[in-house]
Amino acid sequence: MMHMFHSISRLTLAIGSSALLLASASVSATTPDATFTNYVQHCATCHGMDRLGGMGPALLPENLARLRKPAAVAAITDGLVATQMPAFGELLSADEIAAITELIYTPIVPSPKWTETEIRASRIEHVDPSTLSPTPVFDADPWNVFLVVETGDHHVSVLDGDKLEPIHRFQSRFALHGGPKFAQEGRYVFFGSRDGWVTKFDLWNLTVVSEVRAGINTRNVAVSPDGNYVAVANYLPHTLVLFDGDLNLLKVLDVVGKDGVTTSRVSAVYEATPRKSFVAALKDLPEVWEISFDPEAEPIPVGVVHDYRMREGEFVPGYLNVRRTVVEDVLDDFFFTQDYSLLMGASRNGTGQVVSLDARRKIADLPLDGMPHLGSGITWDWQGRRVMASTNLQAAEVTVIDIDSFEVVRRIPTRGPGFFLRSHENSRYAFVDSMMSPEAKHILQVIDKHTLEVVHEIFGTEGETLAHIEYTRDGRFALASHWEFDGAIVVLDAETLEEVKRLPMRKPVGKYNVWNKVMRDEGTSH
Ligand code: DHE
């Protein structure tokens, strides 16, 4: 505890001139020491002495990147509805709140560590797995259950996909991100939070089994279909962390480039079933990493993939070690072909590359503009060709690409840049949002997958977001998110496109159907 106290004290002093300016402008209550005392008195119990989080989220610039400073000031002043964050407006002056805000947006130097020791110490086993029922404890079809992530009050709802009614609701970690990942035919679900927590949930028993904190600022998780391997992509620290299916630590891979010096954040990690491997996108290095979880994997020779630690003629085991593919530009996001031998990657400057994981090099360019959100791409057959389509976070279009020739076959104009594109193999339609456009974020557009044209529009309330579709198992209904604190799941008939019913939810973000995810339906993310 003493050690933490010192580190935060140094930190507070590190606020430097900005905090001092604030202090001199008003009262001594905003000197670095006073701010530190205020932090310890009012914030540390929940957010940790070291700002790495506790009952409340981590308060570091990396974790707060999505919260603008005025919103942070408002949260401290007024509290946050439906959370345990109280209002400090009566206890602290505006200057004191401003100084605390500066503190929490100040990086910790050197970066905080989250090593094997911290990871192992963080693991929590909530129930003894041997006490759990081997069959579902509910009547609903376990293949047609949905999970809805509600970030308004950090809960997850479980829906019966036939009756379209909730059957359970539980508290999640703060700020889940990325799709939950299903294993063992949908019995187990793994969630990742932006604060690094991984939660293993037994959907059949409706209970959290175990949790572990894999990092301080995390992107997403990936899981092998048998549930025996879990990979976690971290921004902070620069690590890719591997666990067994009970969330016991297997290995921490420090993300260091081929030069042995440059480290990188991990943008995302995906599971490639036919290859029995995880494939990771790196944010700061022009490399794609593949890690086999096959104990029989071929050893990795230095001649195939250079590694700064290896000498000519040496091999490392293929199992749980890194195969690098060096690419021409950093790739932020991926989409895989069906057999996972090729990936289509997008880089920040809007260029795309097709990379062969077997040849371990770029094999073609992709004519992409803007920042396609390939992670939410979908595929279908169009005029005898297999096509893939993706939204774009910067351009108001859905781009449709022939997966064999890598040609763009159509750019479908949309109302605005969007995040999610969704369909189902039984549906002729695909739904796209325009979430990134303030004027059009309430409009869902419906694309006909045969004509590649927008054929219908569904309007929500102006100024409020309507986005993210997931279909029922059979593709009859499409569930959309009215993405507000007092929001709802809006159930649409996938044929008539009429609204069927609404289920009130607290800012429902993503929703995930067991069947569609486990069977890797072509219309949804995996
Ligand atoms: Fe996501 C998935 C990256 C911001 C909600 N998001 C993903 C995935 C990636 C990604 C790589 C696929 C991983 C997976 O599912 O395992 N997201 C990014 C970003 O780089 C970006 C733009 C910036 C960031 O701060 O991370 C970003 N994402 C957001 C949001 O602002 C969203 C809309 C709201 C939020 O709560 O964070 C958001 N992202 C989602 C959701 C998924 C997702 C709901 C899963 C979609 C699915 O259906 O599978």
Tens digit of pLDDT at every position of the chain (526 positions): 223 333 333 333 333 333 333 333 344 577 888 998 899 899 998 888 889 887 788 898 888 888 899 999 999 999 987 678 899 999 999 999 999 999 999 988 888 899 999 999 999 999 999 999 999 999 999 999 999 999 999 999 999 999 999 999 999 999 899 899 999 999 999 999 999 999 999 999 999 999 999 999 999 999 999 999 999 999 999 999 999 999 999 999 999 988 888 999 999 999 999 999 999 999 999 999 999 999 999 988 765 555 656 666 778 889 999 999 999 889 988 899 888 999 998 877 767 899 999 999 999 988 877 777 777 789 999 999 999 999 988 889 999 999 999 999 999 999 999 999 999 999 999 999 999 999 999 999 999 999 999 999 999 999 999 999 999 999 999 999 999 999 999 999 999 999 999 999 999 999 999 999 999 999 988 7
Last residue of one domain, picked from the residues 52, 82, 104: 104
- 134 domain residue, yes or no: no
| Location of structure tokens 């993405």 | 483
DSSP string, 60-123: STTTTTTS-HHHHHHHHHH--TTSS----TTTS-HHHHHHHHHHHTSPPSSPPP--HHHHHHH-
Residue 400 to residue 173: CA distance in whole angstroms: 36
Domain that holds residue 427: 373-526
- 189 domain residue, yes or no: no
Atom number of ligand 1 nearest to Cα 526: 49
Last residue of one domain, picked from the residues 104, 136, 166: 104
Output the residue whose Cα is nearest ligand 1's atom 38. Answer: 177
- 251 domain residue, yes or no: no
Residues touching ligand 1 (Cβ under 6 Å) are: 66, 151, 177-179, 220, 268, 333, 375-376, 419, 509-510, 525
Q: What is the pLDDT of residue 310?
A: 62
Atom number of ligand 1 nearest to Cα 419: 33
Q: What is the pLDDT of residue 21?
A: 33
- 513 domain residue, yes or no: yes
Peptide bond into 237 cis (omega under 30): yes
Residue 26 to residue 412: CA distance in whole angstroms: 55
Atom number of ligand 1 nearest to Cα 333: 11
Q: What is the pLDDT of residue 312?
A: 67
Atom number of ligand 1 nearest to Cα 270: 16
Output the residue whose Cα is nearest ligand 1's atom 2. Answer: 178
Last residue of one domain, picked from the residues 61, 82, 104: 104
Q: What is the 297 CA–ligand 1 centroid distance (Å)?
A: 31
Output the residue whose Cα is nearest ligand 1's atom 23. Answer: 66
Residue 150 to residue 346: CA distance in whole angstroms: 29
What Å distances lie between residue 466 and 38, 285, 383, 443, 509, CA to CA? 40, 35, 31, 6, 10
Q: What is the pLDDT of residue 29?
A: 72
Q: What is the 42 CA–ligand 1 centroid distance (Å)?
A: 31
Q: What is the 178 CA–ligand 1 centroid distance (Å)?
A: 5
Q: What is the 510 CA–ligand 1 centroid distance (Å)?
A: 9
CATH code at 98?
Answer: 1.10.760.10
**Enclosing H/E stretch for 365:** strand 361-366
Ligand 1 pocket: which of 149, 151, 153, 177 to mutate (most atoms within 8 A of CB): 177
Q: What is the 177 CA–ligand 1 centroid distance (Å)?
A: 6
What count of Cα atoms within 13 Å lies in the side-chain half-sphere of residue 199?
25
Q: What is the 7 CA–ligand 1 centroid distance (Å)?
A: 32
pLDDT, one tens digit per residue, over 156-208 is 999 999 999 999 999 999 989 989 999 999 999 999 999 999 999 999 999 99
Q: What is the pLDDT of residue 261?
A: 86
| Location of structure tokens 């195969």 | 323
Output the residue whose Cα is nearest ligand 1's atom 29. Answer: 177
Atom number of ligand 1 nearest to Cα 468: 48
Number of structural domains in the chain: 2
Q: What is the 514 CA–ligand 1 centroid distance (Å)?
A: 19
- 308 domain residue, yes or no: no
- 95 domain residue, yes or no: yes
Q: What is the 193 CA–ligand 1 centroid distance (Å)?
A: 11
Q: What is the 208 CA–ligand 1 centroid distance (Å)?
A: 23
Residue 446 to residue 228: CA distance in whole angstroms: 38
Q: What is the 260 CA–ligand 1 centroid distance (Å)?
A: 30
Atom number of ligand 1 nearest to Cα 176: 36
Atom number of ligand 1 nearest to Cα 269: 16
- 253 domain residue, yes or no: no
Output the residue whose Cα is nearest ligand 1's atom 8. Answer: 178
- 465 domain residue, yes or no: yes
CATH code at 429?
Answer: 2.130.10.10
Q: What is the 75 CA–ligand 1 centroid distance (Å)?
A: 23
* Three state DSSP letters for 224-289: CCCCCEEEEEEEECCEEEEEECCCCEEEEEECECCCCCCECCEEEEEEEHHHCEEEEEECCCCEEE
Q: Are 324 and 291 in contact (CB under 8 A)?
A: no
- pTM for the predicted model, two decimal places: 0.90
Can you give the length of the chain in residues? 526
